[in-house]
Copies of this chain bind each other. A is one copy, B any other.
Amino acid sequence: MRLSSLADYAVVMMTAAAREGAGGRSNATLLAGQTGVPLPTAQKLVSRLASAGLIESTRGTGGGIRLARDADTISLADIVEAVDGPIALTACVDGAAHDCGLEMQCRVRPHWHVVNQAVRAAFSGVTLATLAADPVESQVMDVSPRPGVFA
C-alpha cells in the first residue's frame, strides 16, 4: 500500500509546474532544480506525463513543457495513473489478466471493486490547483472547507 517514488515525484513536479501559472512554461531541468528530483528522473517523468496528455512538450531550443489543462481539471488520480498505470488494488479489478490462480469462486472479489472505487475517489477528489495553493492555509485547516478558498 505504498505509492511508488516515481508517482510521488511526479506529483511534486506537477505542483511546481502549476505554480508557474496557466501559460507559464518550464522545462525538465528547471523543475528538477526546484523540486530536488534528480534530473534524469525528472526527464523520464516529463516523458510519461506528456504521453498521458497532462502536459504539452515542445522540443528544440527554447522549448519546454506546459500544463495541457487548467490546474483545477487535473486530479491526483490523473497524475498517479499517468506514472504508475491504472489504480488497481488487485489483479482482479483492472480489466485484463484474470490469472488469479486461486481456484474457488473468489468471494472476496466483488468487494475489492468497491474498495478500489473508494480509493480512486480519494485521489480524484484532490485537484492540482489545491496542491499548488498556499501551503500556510492548507497546512492549518485542510479538511475543513473554509469559504472563499482560492483554488
Flag whether A50 is at the interface (Cβ < 8 A).
no
Flag whether A138 is at the interface (Cβ < 8 A).
yes
Flag whether A96 is at the interface (Cβ < 8 A).
no
Chain B proximity of A8: nearest CB distance (Å): 5
Q: Given the known A-B contacts A2-B89, A107-B15, are A123 and B115 also in contact in the complex, defined by CB atoms under 8 Å?
A: yes
Copies in the complex: 2
Q: Give per-residue flags for A61-104: 1 if the beta carbon is below 8 A from chain B beta carbons, else 0.
A: 00000000000000010001000100111100000000001111
How many Å lie between the Cα of A7 and that of B8 in the bound state?
Answer: 22
B115, A142: Cβ atoms under 8 Å?
no
Q: Given the known A-B contacts A36-B102, A102-B37, are A144 and B108 also in contact in the complex, defined by CB atoms under 8 Å?
A: no
Q: Given the known A-B contacts A102-B12, A122-B118, A126-B115, are A150 and B87 also in contact in the complex, defined by CB atoms under 8 Å?
A: no
**Top 10 A-B residue pairs of the complex, sorted by shortest distance between their CB atoms:** A118-B122, A36-B102, A110-B142, A36-B103, A105-B151, A107-B135, A3-B89, A1-B87, A110-B139, A114-B142
